[in-house]
Amino acid sequence: MALLEVKDLKVRVEEREILHGLTLTVNEGEIHAIMGPNGSGKSTLSHVIAGKPGYEVTDGQILFKGEDLLEMDPEERAARGVFLAFQYPVEIPGVATMTFLRTALNAQRKARGESEYSTPDFLKKVREVSKSLNIPQDMLKRGVNVGFSGGEKKRNEVLQMALFEPSLCILDEMDSGLDIDALRIAADGVNALRSPKRAMVVITHYQRLLNYIVPDFVHVMSKGRVVKSGGKELALELEESGYAQFEDAA
């Protein structure tokens, strides 16, 4: 059984159809890259999978571990193992990152029917994981994303991802706004979370990120559809030839 099956998905935002019949299959352990020009519907796809409100699915299906994902509320999707790292992480002034992580993690454990972490167990866990990702402890004491650099925000997302242990990670343009050093650090974090049981969907406009997170499959989106799929070499081809060739195909 595939981990994620998106079948002929049609999605509207404010009465306008944005996805026009999108099909995508992701198996455990696979890394898929989704590339495409601005406005092709990449973020819309990630939001619909995560269950963000405001999107109307008019046709098609999304199955996750064989179950109808569209029937589940966003919290349930997260509890079952869907994780979306947003393109623009929100700032939460006044809430320490540590507190936020603990609340979110315990809510998720509860939804999974697991016991909540005690304070010492949580501290141990978060220290272990942040150490393995080279995340400095003092970052955890600061307000969530408040005054974080682009790189720190991404590392915070990677830390959340590591703590939540999702089976599907969707990374929406995690390369946006990162310089090359920050990009490498964030990508190292993501690579550390690669596992035969976990799949990743890496959304990006640029080929550059895929030098660091090397995908098994690359899909090109244009105007709300997947117009071409291939192996990692497709990303290099696109770097050469650009997206214009797909505009007519879509």
Q: Is 81 helix (H, G, I), strand (E, B) or coil?
A: coil
Cβ closest to ligand ADP, residue 45 vs residue 182:
45
Query: Cα separations (Å) of 111 from 25, 66, 108?
Result: 26, 19, 5
d(CA 123, CA 127): 6
Q: Least CB distance from residue 87 to Mg ion, whole Å?
A: 6
Q: Least CB distance from residue 87 to ligand ADP, whole Å?
A: 8
DSSP 162-228: HHH--SEEEEESTTTT--HHHHHHHHHHHHHT-BTTBEEEEEESSSTHHHHS--SEEEEEETTEEEE
Q: Which two tokens stand for residue 236?
A: 């290099």
Cβ closest to ligand ADP, residue 14 vs residue 181:
14
Which residues, listed in sequence order, are joined to residue 17 by a DSSP beta bridge?
12
Q: Least CB distance from residue 46 to ligand ADP, whole Å?
A: 8
Q: Least CB distance from residue 60 to ligand ADP, whole Å?
A: 16
Cβ closest to ligand ADP, residue 48 vs residue 234:
48
Q: Which one of ligand ADP, Mg ion, none is in contact with 215 (Cβ closer than 5 to 8 A by kind)?
A: none
Q: Tokens 């509320």 belong to which residue?
A: 73
Cβ closest to ligand ADP, residue 80 vs residue 219:
219
Which positions lie near Mg ion, rule CB under 5 A? 38, 42-43
Q: Least CB distance from residue 224 to ligand ADP, whole Å?
A: 7
Q: Is 32 helix (H, G, I), strand (E, B) or coil?
A: strand
Cβ closest to ligand ADP, residue 38 vs residue 119:
38
Which positions lie near ligand ADP, rule CB under 6 A? 13-14, 18, 36, 38-44, 54
Q: Which one of Mg ion, ligand ADP, none is in contact with 89 (Cβ closer than 5 to 8 A by kind)?
A: none
Q: Which one of ligand ADP, Mg ion, none is in contact with 41 (Cβ closer than 5 to 8 A by kind)?
A: ligand ADP
d(CA 86, CA 84): 6
